[in-house]
Amino acid sequence: MAMIKYRSQVLSMLVILFFIQTFMPIHIHANPSLPIVKDNGPITIEVYPQRHQLVVYLDQIPYKTFPVAVGNPSTPTPVGEYIVTYKGKNWGPSFGSRWIGLNVPWGTYGIHGTNKPYSIGQHASHGCIRMRNRDVEKLYELIPVGTKVTIFGHVLGEANQEPRLISEGDVGADVQLVQNRLQNAGYFHGQCDGRFRSSTTIALKKFQRQNGLIPNGVVTLKVYEKFGLLE
């Protein structure tokens, strides 16, 4: 009898469990959701040579502003849009503690530290963007390779200064602009790479001769005027 009673109790419990699982909802309490971390979006850099400022943007919102030194009039900082292609440490005293390289097609340009912190806020470099070492170290940790860098300005310089005279051996966006004008006029058939080589000199001299200018291979104010770049 005891065994029959035990089996009856077990059967009753199984029936009760069946009904509970079948007809009663079971609520599963999940762990609380993790806090949502805001995606800051893409990091970009804008450089304003006339203000001697470098601004870091997070998702198009200004995040940090740093004072910088930029190129002097004879070796200007290249205007345009570039990409960070390399990051390195301790390139040498002149480059300070950090180097952030840009893909400027006609030379080696970058954002770097300096052993001349007193030059910050001036047009004092050979085209690179100088920062105080403590500032460039912060920037170095903040931005990845591939960051877009926009340098504002006009390739011929600011409105209150005359464009530089350029000739063979010079490099820059102004050289590239001259090459484009010579190419469009049918004088230059090489690559418009911003490097003033002998092929550019030959094309320029031909242009000068046919436009009544002294064929000296130097882009003077008169040449700029003939190109329609100056009034």
Q: Residue 47: give its domain's CATH number.
A: 2.40.440.10
Q: How many domains does the chain have?
A: 2
Distance CA 114, CA 69 (A): 10
Answer whether 0.85 is exceeded by the pTM. no
Q: Which of 151, 184, 203 is the last residue of a domain?
A: 151
Are residues 111 and 129 in contact, defined by beta-carbon separation less than 8 angstroms?
yes
Query: When comparing pLDDT for 100 and 158, which is higher?
Result: 100
Amino acid at 222: K
Q: How confident is the model at residue 29 (pLDDT cuts 50, 70, 90)?
A: very low
| DSSP tag of 194 | S
Average pLDDT of the residues of the chain: 85
Mean pLDDT on 67-73: 95
Order of strands across the sheet that contains 43-48: 61-67, 53-58, 43-48, 148-151, 80-89, 98-102, 109-112, 129-130
Per the domain annotation, does 190 fall within a domain? Answer: yes
* pLDDT at residue 22, rounded to an integer: 46
Q: How confident is the model at residue 143 (pLDDT cuts 50, 70, 90)?
A: very high
- Of 128, 154, 189, 192, which is the active-site residue? 128
Catalytic status, residue 112: yes
Do residues 77 and 142 share a domain? Answer: yes
* pLDDT at residue 12, rounded to an integer: 52
What are the pLDDT digits (tens) for 159-185?
778 899 999 999 999 999 999 999 999
Query: When comparing pLDDT for 189 and 24, which is higher?
Result: 189
Per the domain annotation, does 11 fall within a domain? Answer: no
pLDDT at 24 exceeding the cut of 80: no
Give the range of the structural domain holding residue 110, as residue numbers without chain letter: 43-151
Do residues 57 and 141 share a domain? Answer: yes
pLDDT at 30 exceeding the cut of 70: no
Catalytic status, residue 192: no
Helices (H), the chain: 2-23, 133-142, 173-184, 198-210, 221-226
- Of 27, 29, 52, 112, which is the active-site residue? 112
Q: How far is CA 110 from the centre of its chain?
A: 9
Amino acid at 186: G
Mean pLDDT on 80-88: 96
Do residues 90 and 54 share a domain? Answer: yes
Q: How confident is the model at residue 225 (pLDDT cuts 50, 70, 90)?
A: very high
Per the domain annotation, does 21 fall within a domain? Answer: no
